[in-house]
């Protein structure tokens, strides 16, 4: 579980930096032995930093990445998986920065102590179950506010993308944040959180089809055991009936987590096509 494994190391990232980045237990718990296919995106040509964002009366940690060249860049909020803000999510932020975006990835479990040191998935699920959708949406909106206030940001061009748990929150955020111009949800559950509604998680993405405030691209795998294709098609029908700008793509044979290059579920060909599609979506709505 704590094995680092072999990784593809890009120029500009030292072995020491890589070990520090992979050191969180949450990353190891999510990955098991880290896949040899893991992508490591260099910070060369970028400005990257660990920052804090004020959200209500709290301060939450976050990671940001943007091009080093002078200019103003569209914003993309990166919403982490159930395992929190670990190195894979930071790498996704750098990938977006390489494409000309200012990416901000907040840690959304910081008040609860984070998922990084928890020993097993049941404890992670217990922690995440305590984190209300309302709190997460507040933190995400605070990340938008922070990013929009930076001199290198295009505050009129803001998007969001998230994975798994973060994919679910991407759908909810797209029905919450008026500043969003586009969103990409990666295999985000569409039904109630863990199959039931409760006080902390009162709504599902399926409930919010009529309330979306921006165009949304949803990327799903046909072999995802937790998200049946029938549910994806149900969401698709609701969006069409509501005349919302949305596209749902189901990749044949792809499992849940097909984009997570540090995990055994990774499928390079599908991930590459989906990434191009996501970039095309953001280019259309955030770059025009």
Query: Superfamily assignment of 44-287 in CATH?
Result: Alpha/Beta hydrolase fold, catalytic domain (3.40.50.1820)
Which residues, 6+ apart, have CB-to-CB distance to 212 below 8 Å? Answer: 174, 175, 239, 242, 244, 246
Q: Render pLDDT for 31-86 as a digit per residue (tens, 0 to 9).
A: 555 555 789 999 999 999 999 999 999 999 999 999 999 999 999 999 999 999 99
Question: Active-site residues: which are they?
Answer: 164, 224, 256
Domain boundaries, the chain: 44-287
DSSP three-state, residue 159: strand
pLDDT at residue 63 in the model:
98
Structure pTM?
0.89
Nearest to 155 by CA among 105, 104, 113: 104
The phi, psi pair for 54, rounded to 5°, reads -80, 125
* pLDDT cut 90: percent of the chain above it: 77
Q: How confident is the model at residue 269 (pLDDT cuts 50, 70, 90)?
A: very high
Q: Helices 87-98 & 15-22, crossing angle to 10 degrees? A: 120
pLDDT at residue 239 in the model:
98
Report residue 180 CA to chain centroid gap: 15
Q: What is the mean pLDDT of the chain?
A: 88
């Amino acid at each position: 579980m704590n094995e680092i494994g072999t990784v593809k190391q890009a120029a500009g990232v030292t072995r020491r930096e890589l070990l520090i980045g992979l050191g969180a237990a949450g990353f190891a718990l999510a990955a098991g032995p880290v896949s040899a296919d893991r992508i490591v995106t260099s910070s060369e040509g970028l400005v990257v930093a660990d920052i804090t964002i004020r959200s209500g009366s709290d301060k939450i940690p976050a990671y940001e990445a943007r091009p080093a060249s002078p200019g103003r860049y569209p914003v993309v909020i990166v919403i982490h998986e159930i395992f929190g803000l670990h190195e894979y999510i930071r790498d996704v932020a750098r990938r977006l920065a390489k494409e000309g975006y200012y990416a901000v990835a907040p840690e959304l479990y910081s008040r609860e102590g984070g998922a990084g040191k928890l020993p097993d998935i049941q404890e992670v699920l217990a922690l995440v179950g305590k984190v209300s959708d309302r709190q997460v949406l507040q933190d995400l909106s605070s990340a938008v506010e922070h990013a929009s206030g930076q001199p290198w940001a295009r505050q009129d061009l803001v998007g969001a993308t998230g994975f798994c748990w973060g994919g679910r929150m991407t759908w909810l955020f797209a029905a919450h944040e008026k500043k969003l111009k586009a969103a990409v949800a990666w295999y985000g559950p569409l039904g109630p959180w863990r199959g039931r509604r409760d006080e902390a998680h009162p709504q599902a993405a399926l409930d919010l089809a009529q309330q979306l405030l921006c165009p949304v691209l949803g990327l799903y795998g046909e072999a995802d055991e937790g998200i049946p294709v029938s549910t994806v098609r149900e969401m698709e029908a609701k969006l069409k009936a509501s005349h919302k700008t949305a596209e749902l793509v189901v990749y044949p044979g792809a499992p849940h987590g097909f984009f997570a290059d540090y995990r055994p579920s990774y499928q390079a060909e599908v991930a590459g096509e989906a990434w191009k599609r996501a970039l095309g979506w953001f280019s259309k709505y955030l770059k025009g």
